[in-house]
Amino acid sequence: MELLNPLDNTAFPGKSVAYTATAGNTGTWPAGPQGVMVWSDQSCYVDVGEGVVATTTSTPIPPFTPIPFKVPAGSGAPFRVSAIRESTSGTVFAKPINSQ
pLDDT digits (tens, 9 = 90+) for 33-68: 999 999 999 999 999 999 999 999 999 999 999 999
Distances (CA, A) of 3 to 34, 40, 59, 75: 13, 22, 23, 27
Q: What residue numbers bound the domain in which 71 lies? A: 4-99
Tally of domains within the chain: 1
Least confidently predicted of 6-10, 16-20, 42-46, 78-82: 6-10
pLDDT of residue 4: 58
**CATH, residue 59:** 2.60.120
Please state, in angstroms and rounded to a whole number, the distance separating the CA atoms of residues 65 and 23: 19
